[in-house]
Amino acid sequence: MNIGRKSLSLILAAALMLGVVSIGGSTASVVTADAADYYSGITATKGTQLLGQLHDLIVGTHSNYTSYDECKTYASKTDPSLDGKGILEFYTHETMTTGFGSSAGILNREHVWPQSLGNWKTSNAGSDLHHIRPTETRLNGDRGNKKYGEVTNGTPQYSRTTSGANSELGGYANSSTFMPLDNVKGDVARIVMYVYTHYNTASNVGGTKESRGSGALTFTRVISASSENAAKQLLIEWNESDPVDSIERTRNEAVYAIQGNRNPFIDHPEYASMIWGDGSYVPPDPPVTVAPTSLSLTPSAVTMSVGETANLSVTASPANASKAVKWSVSPTNVVTIVEGKLTAYAEGQATVTATSTLDSTVKATAQVTVKKSEGGGTANSFTITIDSFDLTEGYGFKTWSAGGVKGTAFIFGGSGEYSSTGMQFNKSKTSYYLASTTATNGPIKSVTVKANAASQTDREWKLLTSSSAYGEVTGKPTNGNDHGTQFVTTNGTKWEVSGSDTFFALTYEFAETKGASYLDSITVEYAASQGGDPTPPPPPEHQHVFEYEDYTDETHLVGCETCTDYLEEEPHVYSSDTDTTCDLCGHERHVHDYKWVDKDDTSHVWKCEGCGEVSKTEEHIYTDDTDTTCNKCDHVRTVHTHSYQWEDNDETTHVWKCEGCGEISRTQAHEYTDDADTTCNVCGHERTLPTEHEHAFEYTDDDNENTHRTTCKEGDYDAREPHVYSGDTDTTCNLCGYVRTVHAHSYQWVDEGEQHALKCEGCGDVKSTSPHEYSDAADTTCDSCGHVREVNSAVFHEAVQKITGEGSLSDRLASIKEAAEAYATLTDEEKALASVKKDHAKFEEAVEALNAELRKLNEAAKSANGLFVSAN
């Protein structure tokens, strides 16, 4: 029936009001079916209770703590670039192909929560893959350990090329705060919240399990905010303004596979609001999942009897592609298909088609053959194939159902596909029978058994029929009417049956020399029940005919043209990222086509050519100071080239000045060849030299004994200069007339003890000094000054010095002789002199002391000789 093309929107609105339809599934979270199990234990819905459960969950499931080195190793898995050619740089999202290192243009490992602001180095939190992100080295360094926060009029922060030039904009910063781009703020917020939840002291977050390397953490340590609440608010704002994207989802799955835990704020971004906010945030629905590139149906061909059912299963490629399909059948009067379940309606052939809901060009088909059933005047039949069995629990004792009849059997499906091996009746004691437990609608007329292969044609089977059910037995049936044994064939071996039995059993007559019996099918024909028409099959279920109506920018409504029972909101389907038209509803979308556009003299913008939306702004980028064309937007600037010249500045200096703009680079003093040179060798400055002037001196006697004042009449000379006399006797200065007193010296030799001096009797001026002079050793009176010396005391003094000194024995003997000889020459009077007597006495004492030493030496030598030679 056709209800006409009503607006699906109106239908949707009505359905919503009636509460009969839910839109888009049951939840707005982004988890996959597998990840949903991960959070199955989270029962809290808000605050610290929720936070504590999340803490215990992500700590408890963190089974593999990666090393800091492994952060580099796993980067290709966790951070593949969007174009698949390298690694995704965290802040700029550019593709990096240069690997990890410490130079410009090369990747580094960014601690989103800096080490210095946390409780870690390069382990535990410091090497958690959910935390560490690949970042260009220079941009990483520029961010340093700045806190995250909002920055107004901040300095653009760029990644670098390997040559050190600016590459891509990664954020803005001031001296203390770093602000990532809008499309990274959410990423940062969710990483910060993960680290806070995981590595905080358990009691601080309501948890019970202590994390490795845990310590007290507050958001204000990494977020620039006036308070902890303000920091939480900023994180919530960033989390909501930049929703989870495919980069984060892909990353979350990759890290989960490595570490064993997940970032709950990526899977459930609403948790942030539930824990630290008012809990009202509902994140947007995730985008479509991976569309398959191909589909296949199993089985691809089905033979059924009227009234029978069968199931088709969908396989999608690649493995992570969506298996969601729309079923259709043609013609529609042979079989119906509902969510993969076939119901045979009438004899004939039909083609069942499964179309991917994400890509309508991807389809798979299966061929269905329906045979008529026979009974009474019209025979009914059903065929038992491997698909008739309930094989959900592996092989062994099974139930089967075909044509409305049920039964039991003990079969093996083989280790692979059941359909490839058919029904395998193995040689274990109970595994070689098949029997019915419900009655056919009429007496059984024939049973046909087909072997799976020609090699199976030496297997014998026996048919039994009965009027009562064989029951769910595990042993080989033996009761009933025995219709004999036959070898089965690939064409089918048939038992003709008469009578009114409505139950049957087939048993494999196993022989030790033969192996399993593989059957392709068992077909049972039975007569229609007496006195009535065969029971008609149920009417085919309604087959929706889908229609699509553009609904929102992201979704369209899907309804059925012929009924009102189906109404779903589904995302638009596009063939590619550049496809602008939905394949199903024709919705036209705008795909931004960004290009760099010159904005002004200082900047250019990343602007969509179509809608004019500006995504980001950055400064022009030039290769060097002489480059006039921006490398990105071709903005042309004017580059002034200085032309410097030396220019006379003033009397003392010249400057290095640009002729064009007047900029002065440096200043120097004028340079002249010599004192007579008047022209500067550098700038040509002309100087005035002082003129030669002949002084007219005047001398002033100011009664100074030694000098007079000398001045020039011109006033440019004034100095003190010594008096000038013609000679030593001249008493008047030749210049100023000063009169001096001239003294005539009268020098005499004067005894001054150890020496004498030539001294002026009048003024005491000493002209010279010298030692006393004697005629000979006996002379006691100095020839010059009359100094009287003591006789020969020195010789004794010297002798004593020698005797007690370090000289040899012969030297000492010589000085003793000298002293003795000198003493012998003295007169009695001289000998009586006190000094002579004193020194001579010392001399004698010294000699005696020496003699004592000599005696000791003799005694020592004698003793030695006596020891060795026993000499007396």
Partner 1 sequence: MKKKIIAVSAILIAACGLIAGCSLSPEGPKQEDKCAHLDEMAHARYSKIELRITTQLGKDTLESAFTFTYGDAVTIAYTVEEVLEIDPADPAAELKTVKRGTATISGGSVTVEGDDAGITAQSAELPFTFREAYFENAEYGGNFFSADVKEPSSFLKGASSCTNMRAELNFGTSFTSLKVTYEGALGENVCAAYTFTA
Residue numbers at the binding site for partner 1 (CB under 8 A): 806, 808-810, 813, 816-817, 819-820, 823-824, 843-844, 847-848, 850-851, 853-872
Cα–Cα distance measured from residue 105 to residue 112, given in angstroms and rounded to the nearest whole number: 19
Nearer to partner 1, 658 or 820 (CB): 820
What does the DSSP assignment read for 284-329?
PPP---PPPSEEEEESSEEEEETT-EEE-EEEEESTTS---EEEEE
Nearer to partner 1, 619 or 818 (CB): 818
Cα–Cα distance measured from residue 764 to residue 326, given in angstroms and rounded to the nearest whole number: 140
Backbone angles phi, psi at 769, to 5 degrees: -135, 155
Shortest approach of partner 1 to residue 843 CB, angstroms? 7
In sequence order, the 6+-apart residues with CB closer than 8 A to the CB of 548 are: 556, 557, 558, 582, 584, 585
| Per-residue three-class SS string for 352-364 | EEEEECCCCCCEE
Sheet containing 177-180, strands listed edge to edge, beginning at the edge strand earlier in sequence: 147-148, 177-180, 166-173, 155-160
Shortest approach of partner 1 to residue 835 CB, angstroms? 18
Contact 693, 706 (CB under 8 A): no
Nearer to partner 1, 758 or 813 (CB): 813
Nearer to partner 1, 702 or 859 (CB): 859
Nearer to partner 1, 661 or 871 (CB): 871
Nearer to partner 1, 695 or 856 (CB): 856
Nearer to partner 1, 43 or 810 (CB): 810
Shortest approach of partner 1 to residue 872 CB, angstroms? 3
Q: Which two tokens stand for residue 230?
A: 């303000």
CA-CA distances (angstroms) from residue 548 to 358, 558, 697? 14, 5, 123
Shortest approach of partner 1 to residue 777 CB, angstroms? 19
Ranges assigned E (strand) in 77-191: 87-88, 95-96, 107-111, 132-136, 147-148, 155-160, 166-173, 177-180
Contact 326, 70 (CB under 8 A): no
CA-CA distances (angstroms) from residue 788 to 779, 791, 831? 9, 9, 16
Pairing status of strand 766-771 against strand 755-760: antiparallel
Cα–Cα distance measured from residue 652 to residue 680, given in angstroms and rounded to the nearest whole number: 10
Shortest approach of partner 1 to residue 801 CB, angstroms? 15
Shortest approach of partner 1 to residue 773 CB, angstroms? 31
State the sign of the Cα–Cα–Cα–Cα dihedral 454, 458, 464, 469: negative
Shortest approach of partner 1 to residue 862 CB, angstroms? 8
Nearer to partner 1, 638 or 872 (CB): 872
Backbone angles phi, psi at 754, to 5 degrees: -70, -20
My answer on whether omega of the bond before 243 falls inside 30° of 0, hence cis, is no
Shortest approach of partner 1 to residue 864 CB, angstroms? 4
Shortest approach of partner 1 to residue 202 CB, angstroms? 58
Q: Which two tokens stand for residue 535?
A: 């029971």
Nearer to partner 1, 636 or 864 (CB): 864
Closest CA to 618 of 261, 132, 157, 252: 157
Shortest approach of partner 1 to residue 115 CB, angstroms? 59
Shortest approach of partner 1 to residue 212 CB, angstroms? 52
Question: Distance from CA of residue 262 to its chain's centroid?
Answer: 18
Nearer to partner 1, 744 or 869 (CB): 869
Please return the burial class of 714, using the count of CB atoms within 10 Å of its CB with bins 0-12, 13-18 and 19+.
exposed
Nearer to partner 1, 687 or 856 (CB): 856
Shortest approach of partner 1 to residue 844 CB, angstroms? 5
Nearer to partner 1, 719 or 864 (CB): 864
Query: What angle in degrees, to the nearest 10, is found between the helix axes of 47-60 and 182-199?
Result: 80
Dihedral of the CA atoms 741, 744, 748, 751 (nearest 10)?
10
Shortest approach of partner 1 to residue 860 CB, angstroms? 4
Nearer to partner 1, 229 or 858 (CB): 858
